[in-house]
Amino acid sequence: KQEVTQIPAALSVPEGENLVLNCSFTDSAIYNLQWFRQDPGKGLTSLLLIQSSQREQTSGRLNASLDKSSGRSTLYIAASQPGDSATYLCAVRGGNTDKLIFGTGTRLQVFP
């Protein structure tokens, strides 16, 4: 059974810092991995999708890497801003299933 864990559970940093959020999964037979952000009381916004054959994806100040064999992904946020404050969720799609299995999330606060 696939389990997805995210550490840390919460993070509070001053503006301008570079951050690394971690996601680990127990079954390496995944199809892809997706990172989302969720603002309080809002829906999920897709940030990055990494296919199982890829090592990383970049979008602006965000870079996500995937090491399928070790069951890990990291989301790197460069030069953090207060607007980055949100909960970040990673989700994996299994090799032969169409459901996304979510991690527990990392709640990020970036203060000025």
Partner 1 sequence: DTAVSQTPKYLVTQMGNDKSIKCEQNLGHDTMYWYKQDSKKFLKIMFSYNNKELIINETVPNRFSPKSPDKAHLNLHINSLELGDSAVYFCASSQGPGGWTEAFFGQGTRLTVV
Decide: is 60 part of the binding site for partner 1 (CB under 8 A).
no
Decide: is 85 part of the binding site for partner 1 (CB under 8 A).
no
Which residue type occupies 44? Answer: L
Decide: is 92 part of the binding site for partner 1 (CB under 8 A).
no
Decide: is 99 part of the binding site for partner 1 (CB under 8 A).
yes
Query: Residues 6, 19, 33, 34: which binds partner 1 (CB under 8 A)?
Result: 34
Q: Which two tokens stand for residue 23?
A: 């996601």
User: Nearest 10 degrees: CA dihedral of 88, 10, 24, 21?
Assistant: 60
Partners of 6 in the β-ladder:
23
Contact characters 37-56, partner 1, x per CB under 8 A: -x--xxxxxx--x-------
Query: Residues 18, 81, 97, 109: which binds partner 1 (CB under 8 A)?
Result: 97
Query: Residues 87, 88, 106, 110: which binds partner 1 (CB under 8 A)?
Result: 87
Can you say whether residue 16 is alpha, beta or left, with left for phi > 0 and alpha for psi between -120 and 50 degrees?
Answer: left
**31 in Cβ contact with 93 (< 8 Å):** yes
Whole-number Å distance between alpha carbons of 55 and 74: 11
Name the site residues for partner 1 (rule: CB under 8 A). Answer: 31-32, 34, 36, 38, 41-46, 49, 87, 89, 91, 93, 97-102, 104-105
